[in-house]
């Protein structure tokens, strides 16, 4: 029998909601903004994909890479478009 899916908690949905809010807050269609938003969403997906590893052995390089990529792209997007 296949294993039951695990609950990932609120972290991946909050990362996805944060990046989609961030992309809609600035209404910018330049290439840099779109690339940064894509990077943020890819980081959120990487983090979400690493959740089973976090439950297995409490460590995952994919989680760190996804979260770091997501946060660095958000900082870069914020610096490009200050409020």
In tens, the pLDDT along 7-58 reads 555 555 666 676 667 666 666 677 888 888 888 889 988 888 888 887 888 7
Number of domains observed in the structure of the chain: 1
Instruction: With respect to residue 58, please indicate whether it lies within any of the assigned structural domains.
Output: yes
In angstroms, the CA 34 to CA 9 distance is 28
Instruction: With respect to residue 47, please indicate whether it lies within any of the assigned structural domains.
Output: yes
Question: Can you tell me which residue has the tokens 């972290």?
Answer: 11
**Least confident interval from 53-57, 66-70, 78-82:** 78-82
Residue scoring higher pLDDT (50 or 6): 50
pTM of the model: 0.66
Range of the domain at 21: 11-80
Q: Which two tokens stand for residue 35?
A: 């690339």
Looking at residue 1, its pLDDT comes to 47
Looking at residue 72, its pLDDT comes to 92
Looking at residue 69, its pLDDT comes to 92
Instruction: With respect to residue 5, please indicate whether it lies within any of the assigned structural domains.
Output: no
Q: Which two tokens stand for residue 82?
A: 């200050």
Instruction: With respect to residue 6, please indicate whether it lies within any of the assigned structural domains.
Output: no
Instruction: With respect to residue 45, please indicate whether it lies within any of the assigned structural domains.
Output: yes
């Amino acid at each position: 029998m296949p294993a039951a899916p695990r609950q990932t908690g609120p972290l991946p949905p909050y990362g996805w909601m944060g990046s989609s809010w961030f992309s809609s807050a600035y209404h910018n269609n330049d290439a840099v903004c779109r690339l940064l938003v894509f990077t943020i969403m890819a980081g959120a997906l990487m983090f979400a994909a690493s959740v089973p590893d976090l439950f297995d052995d409490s460590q995952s390089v994919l989680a760190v890479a996804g979260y770091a990529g997501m946060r660095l792209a958000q900082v870069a997007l914020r610096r490009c478009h200050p409020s």
